[in-house]
Structure 1
Amino acid sequence: MEEFLGAMERAGDRRQFERVPADLPITVLCMATGKPGPTYPGRTIDLSAAGLAARIGQMANKPGDDLLVGGQGDHAIPGRVASIVDGVVRIQFRMNEDSMTMMQQALKKAGVTL
């Protein structure tokens, strides 16, 4: 956890993946305790292959908390809260082959090209 938070602080505004504006419905399942917790509906602001920014109600999570992010009928993509500022939640996806495949399928279904 400390390694993740340290990497987020050092990353600043550098981005390795292009962000694309997208207004799509999502559902976020909080997994901060390792068990399913509250579920929050939201809408994306932008997407990249590595994560997203979204407006998600009154989430009680904090940076570093684990989440599962899903769209309409999509498989949930594991990620972590990178930041929450002014009602915008930034989520970083786990960078593994399964997550990348699920993200690509979800983007294709939504008509978003990165």
Structure 2
Amino acid sequence: TLLVTLLDYYVPVWGLKKFGGTQAGVWGSTIGLLVGMFLGPVGIFIGAFGGGLLGELLAGQDSRTATKAALGSFAGFLLGIGLKLALCGIMLWYAGAALIQYAGAGL
């Protein structure tokens, strides 16, 4: 659980930094993600990208650099979702295996 929580924060920031983003882009992406939650599943994705883009533009980045950084934030967001799904699947696998083992023992 701790690893999943750390991934939730680290991976999008890593993506943003990898593509040349700033702290303003991180904040913009986070705020966009929160606002996007009220617009449904598609809004989350649009919010993460749009917020990162807006944050970078407000920080004074040119549009090309800001778009690249926002794409990095979005890629990090998607990578984080994929890693969390994979880790949750692994935990579910182990929990299911333990349940089957204990059920087979007659408990």
> So what's the TM-score if we normalise by structure 2?
0.27
